[in-house]
Structure 1
Amino acid sequence: MNLTPFIKKDGSISLYLQLYHYFRDEIEHGRLKVGIKLPSIRQLSQTLNISRNTVETAYQQLVAEGYVESKEKSGLYVLELDDFRKEQSKMPKDAPKTTLRPDPRHVIDFQYGDIELDRFPLKVWKKCVVEAMENPIQEVFSYGEKQAILV
């Protein structure tokens, strides 16, 4: 099978994303069948004249999202899509997207660095830090137990 995606090297979308989108779309639309082996990182990077890191990043994203699986010393293989992805792939690309509007009563900002200092429990935090530092030094700098016991 000859897979040669078209990559715009001067485009506004990064190369790894273009590559990732190409393979994702090929899998979702059934043009890449379950069990098909993807080209090796080295082979595809040479064919497209792009870095191996770019190909590897795209492939890692496909693995992370469950489109392909890596078999040790064998390569990457297309997986069967789960029911959610099957439904998503059937939807037309120009279908209106629904957006959820969060209930303002339940919005929590998890962005790093945006601490509301007037609401932050600084005294409690300081107490916890001091208490943690009073433990034997080895415990402070280790990861702790490898297995947690749930009660």
Structure 2
Amino acid sequence: MVDPTHAAILRTRIVPHILRVLHDLHADLLLLPYGQQATGVMGVLLSVMAITGLILWWPHPALWASGKWRRTITVSPRARGYRLWREAHLSLGFWTLGMMLFLALSGTVLAFPFARPLFGVQGGDRPAHTRTHHADHTPAAPGEQGL
């Protein structure tokens, strides 16, 4: 904790080791120092797969006009074999698309600081070329943005 008037450190909090390991697993896949880039690349690839899946799923305009597009987001009770697998894939893909895109894009923004302006996220307290890995806990100088 920092005193905002004097920029003096009042108290520090020690993070338990298991939480640090879980954080490194989530953010870096335990692949320091390259895990953050790997997580970002996977976020980009997941975003591309989700968007191309939406393009491939998009129903024909005739289905939109007739209202039969709703059949593409449910699984028919009569479906068997490969048809069951295809309808389940289409339906599950449609219903999880929003969550998947949110997770992929937010993970990409967190992993690649230079992508933050694309989504309207403001930068941190240091310029992008001087940023270090997020595990580096160097104290910021008084008066810096983000203190």
After TM superposition, the score normalised by the length of structure 2 is 0.25
| Structure possessing the higher relative contact order (Cα contacts under 8 Å, 6 or more residues apart) | 2
If each structure's helix is expressed as a fraction of its own residues, which one has the higher value? 2
